[in-house]
């Protein structure tokens, strides 16, 4: 009788401990999975939500995720990453006399900034936007964009 009661008490303690452990694990999961990210800038082409290149300002590292998908007849492969000049070149959708134009993006690890330094489009809006450390840079007719992942929030208006 006494032993059964002891067993029951042990079971209750065990269940309680498991409760605490699982609850703690769940809280940790929520905390770690959804905390704000470190400062990154992702470069996208077209309507895809998969970045082609990621600039990691903290690790000072460029990650090339995949090649830009381009139609047949374009021999060069994009993006072109020049780590010496700190530029990333993609091929935009805007054409002049049937020739697609390049978009050159420069980055600065120290300033954690990105700038479109060369592009062709009717009003050159995106290259005139200047340097950004948080504001997305959108090259509309070229369908290329740079979006930041920072601790400054989900969006900027």
Partner 1 sequence: MKKGLLLVLLILFAVFATSCTKPKGYNYNFYDYMDTFISISLFAENDEQANQYKSDIENIYRKYHELSNNYAPLSVNSGYKENLFSINGRIQETIEIDRELFELLKRAEEIKELTNGYFDISIGKMVDIWKDVILNDVDHYMHNEIPEAVFSKILEDLEKIDVVEEPFVLTETDGKYYIRLTHEDVKLDLGALSKGYATQLVYDYLIEEGVEYFSITAGSSSISVAQNYNRNTRLYHVSLANPVAPTGVYGMIYVKNVAINTSGNFEQYALYQGLRYHHVISPKTKMPAHYYHTVTVIGSDAGLLDALSTALFSMPVAEFDSFLTSLQATSNLEVIRFNYDETVTSFLKDTVFEEYDR
Contact 71, 77 (CB under 8 A): no
Binding string, 40-79, against partner 1, x = CB under 8 A? ----x-xxxx------------------------------
- C-alpha 17/C-alpha 44 separation (Å) is 47
Paired tokens of 100: 């697609």
Q: Considering the rule CB under 8 A, would residue 80 count as an interface residue with partner 1?
A: no
Binding string, 10-39, against partner 1, x = CB under 8 A? -x--xx--xx--x--xx--xx---x-----
Beta-sheet strand order (sheet of 87-96): 80-82, 87-96, 99-108, 113-118
User: Binding segment for partner 1 among 51-59, 68-76, 77-85, 133-141 (CB under 8 A)?
Assistant: 133-141
What's the 3-state SS for 119-130? CCCCCCHHHHCC
Residues that bind partner 1 (CB under 8 A): 7-8, 11, 14-15, 18-19, 22, 25-26, 29-30, 34, 44, 46-49, 113, 122-125, 128-136, 138, 140, 143, 145, 152-157
């Amino acid at each position: 009788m006494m032993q059964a009661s002891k067993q029951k008490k042990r079971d209750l303690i065990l269940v309680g401990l498991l409760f605490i452990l699982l609850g703690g694990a769940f809280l940790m999961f929520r905390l770690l999975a959804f905390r704000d990210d470190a400062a990154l800038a992702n470069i996208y082409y077209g309507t895809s939500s998969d970045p082609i290149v990621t600039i990691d300002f903290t690790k000072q590292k460029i990650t090339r995720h995949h090649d830009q998908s381009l139609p047949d007849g374009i021999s060069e492969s994009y993006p072109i990453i020049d780590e010496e000049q700190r530029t990333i070149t993609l091929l935009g959708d805007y054409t002049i006399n049937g020739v697609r134009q390049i978009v050159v993006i420069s980055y600065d690890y120290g300033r954690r900034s990105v700038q479109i330094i060369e592009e062709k489009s009717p009003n050159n809006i995106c290259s005139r936007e200047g340097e950004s450390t948080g504001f997305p840079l959108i090259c509309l007719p070229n369908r290329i964009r740079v979006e930041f992942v920072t601790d400054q929030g989900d969006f900027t208006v």
